[in-house]
Amino acid sequence: MLINSLNGFYYHLFVSLSWVVISWNVRFYEVYRFTKVIDIIEKIVKQYIIFIIVNFAYIGYFLKFSEPSLILRFVSLALALVAAEKLFIYYFLRRIRVVFGGNFRRVVIVGEEKSTKELVNFFNDNPNYGYKLVKTFDLKTSKKQEIQECFDFVIQNKIDEVYCALSDLSNTDVNNFIDFTDNNLKTLKFLPDEKEATARNLKLDYYGYIPIVSLRNIPLDETASKVIKRTFDLVFSSLIIIGVLSWLIPILAVIIKLESKGPVFFKQRRNGLNYHEFDCYKFRSMTLNEIADLEQVSKNDPRITRSGRFIRKTSIDELPQFFNVFLGDMSVVGPRPHMVSHTEMYAKRVDKFMVRHFIKPGITGLAQTNGYRGEVETEKDIINRVKYDIFYLENWSLMLDLKIVFLTVINAVKGEEKAY
């Protein structure tokens, strides 16, 4: 009776949901290249104990079982296999880094030797962590000149992360590093001053026993958050593709083709995660023109067709981007991607514009639900859009995504002033 019940749909659903909830709370999947083995084992033990308790609670309440050893063996075997796979991947990646030299993050360190010596030794003595120390800037001569040399070196040598000793930098220097790394899509981390407390709300990690402070805590850098968001994207995009686009595409294809020559879909290069380019898809709403990749659509734009005005007003033209979501180039919710030419222009004009490329772009976003969608008419429009995008990437949650989706649907039904 027990075995048959354990094979039931409700038990498997309970096991799956409880595993996700428990792993989220004990941060079971948050394992990084600098995570210590003892921390991984601690996560495994926590997951094991709590998972056994909830399983016993479920089986004891619903089945009144008399064979506790069965569930104990089941849970133990399941977690042992997951733990073995987790540790194997962890050690395998560390070994790959040492043997083949791959999967490395290129780093530079800024600060006097007395402040950075431990971290320098850590990077040099632990290649299996996946960090390659390329250069140090000790600031012994002209600080201003060396900092500029550091900026130039980071760009020219494709450095991934910059580590700075806070004790050797003034507030102005710190702000300069923040602006530089934000605008060039580099990761900035600090070695905190042992004698002073930092005023910012920063994220603290440990490399061995060395405290490392990260400038910005991005929830979507965590594995569990990535899994949740990707699952949401796959489920939501699949529902739209199957439930809406499967019948809408043939209808719009006939209308678009009858009104003007050209393809049904409009494809445009845009910048996504980590500034990588991808093809963004839309229903074609304009006549064919040579400046489609250079100029944004404006109000009463003569390039827009009659059917195009309707599908743009209702945001139907954006629906093919659910294929981008399904393929992994975009998310349902995130910063709106810009044309490549506009990205390059805004990156030069708007401070911290590049920060929005730390996460995947979205079909809709927090900025769009707060009035900053469509054409960028003034400098204020793009500045406020960036502010909302940075707030979103620093405060992401599944509930925030659901709220943004809900508001997007409401706005599409009501109609928006800048939807043209």
Residue 58 within a domain: yes
Residue with tokens 């580590």: 163
| pLDDT tens readout for residues 230-242 | 999 999 999 999 9
Percent of all residues in the chain with a pLDDT value above 70, rounded to a whole number: 85
pLDDT at 1 over 60: no
Residue 420 lies in a domain: no
H or E element: which one contains 38?
Answer: helix 37-63
pLDDT value for 170? 86
Res 235: pLDDT: 93
Residues 149, 279, single domain; the answer is no
Residue 365 near residue 389 (C-beta atoms within 8 A) = yes
Same domain, 302 and 389: yes
Examine the domain organization and report whether 10 and 51 are in the same domain: yes
32 plus 57 within the same structural domain: yes
CATH at residue 169: 3.40.50.150
Helices (H), 64-170: 68-100, 113-125, 143-156
Q: Encode pLDDT of 110-129 as tens digits.
A: 988 887 888 999 888 887 77
User: Could you read off the pLDDT of 166-223 as tens digits, one per residue?
Assistant: 888 888 898 899 999 999 999 999 887 654 434 445 677 777 777 787 777 788 988 8
Spatial separation of the C-alpha atoms in residues 104 and 96, rounded to whole Å: 10
How far out from the chain centre does Cα 235 lie?
A: 18
End-to-end Cα distance, the chain: 63
152-176 average pLDDT score: 91
Residue 179's domain spans which residues? Answer: 104-216
Domain boundary among 198, 216, 234: 216
Residue 419 inside a domain? The answer is no
Structure tokens at 194: 């042992």
The backbone torsions φ and ψ at residue 280, rounded to the nearest 5 degrees and listed phi first, read: -95, 130
Beta partners for 164?
Answer: 110, 190
Angle CA(74)–CA(79)–CA(81) in degrees, nearest 5? 100
pLDDT of residue 56: 75
Neighbours of 254 (CB within 10 A): 11
Domain count for the chain, please give it: 3
Can you tell me the mean pLDDT for 41-62? 77
**pLDDT of amino acid 196:** 45
H or E segment and range at residue 364: strand 362-364
304: amino acid identity, one letter: I
Under the banding of pLDDT at 50, 70 and 90, the label for residue 374 is low
Domain limit, last residue, from 56, 74, 99: 99
Whether residue 273 is found in the same domain as residue 407: yes
Closest of 341, 396, 330 to residue 364, by C-alpha: 330
Domain match, 115 and 158 both = yes
Residue 137 · residue 150 · CB < 8 Å: yes
Q: Residue 75: pLDDT above 90? A: no
State pLDDT tens for residues 273-296. Answer: 988 999 999 998 888 776 665 566
pLDDT value at residue 140: 82
**Any domain includes 260:** yes
pLDDT attached to residue 339: 85
Strand partners, 281: 267
Give the pLDDT score at 199: 43
β-pairing verdict for 131-137 and 105-110: parallel
Tokens representing 337 are 């991607």
Could you read off the pLDDT of 310-360 as tens digits, one per residue? 888 888 889 999 999 999 999 999 999 988 888 888 888 888 888 889 999
Q: Give the pLDDT score at 389.
A: 92
Mean pLDDT of the chain: 82
Token digits for 74?
């089941």
Cβ(367)–Cβ(385) below 8 Å: yes
As a whole-number percent, the residues of the chain with pLDDT over 90 amount to 26
Is there a single domain that holds both residue 383 and residue 239? Answer: yes
CA 60 – CA 76 distance, rounded (Å) = 17
180: its two tokens: 């530089």
Distance CA 76, CA 351 (A): 52
What is the per-residue pLDDT for 373?
A: 73
Choice between 300 and 227, residue whose per-residue pLDDT is larger: 227
Model confidence at 135, pLDDT cuts 50, 70, 90, reads: very high
Q: Which residue has the higher pLDDT, 280 or 95?
A: 280
Contact in structure between 317 and 292 (CB atoms under 8 Å): no
Tally of CA atoms within 13 A in the half-sphere of 67 that contains its CB:
9
Helix count (H) and strand count (E) of the chain?
Answer: 14, 10
What is the value of pTM for the model shown? Answer: 0.66
Do 23 and 63 sit in the same domain of this protein? yes
Q: Which residue has the higher pLDDT, 297 or 40?
A: 40
- pLDDT for 34 equals 66
Of the candidates 160, 181, 216, which is a domain's last residue?
A: 216
201 touches 228 (CB < 8 A): no
Q: 245 with 203, same domain?
A: no
Residues 253 and 167 in one domain: no
- Which region among 56-60, 135-139, 218-222 has the lowest average model confidence (pLDDT)? 56-60
Reading phi first (left if > 0) and then psi (alpha if -120 to 50, else beta), residue 197 is in beta
Asked, for residue 269, whether it belongs to a domain, the answer is yes
238 and 202 in a single domain? The answer is: no
Secondary structure, 3-state, 186-236:
CEEEEECCCCCCCCCCCEEEEECCEEEEECCCCHHHCHHHHHHHHHHHHHH
> Would you state the pLDDT for residue 8?
63
121 and 23 co-located in one domain: no
Pairing of strands 187-191, 210-214: antiparallel
**Token pair of 239, please?**
């529902």
Least confident of 157-161, 266-270, 292-296, 387-391: 292-296
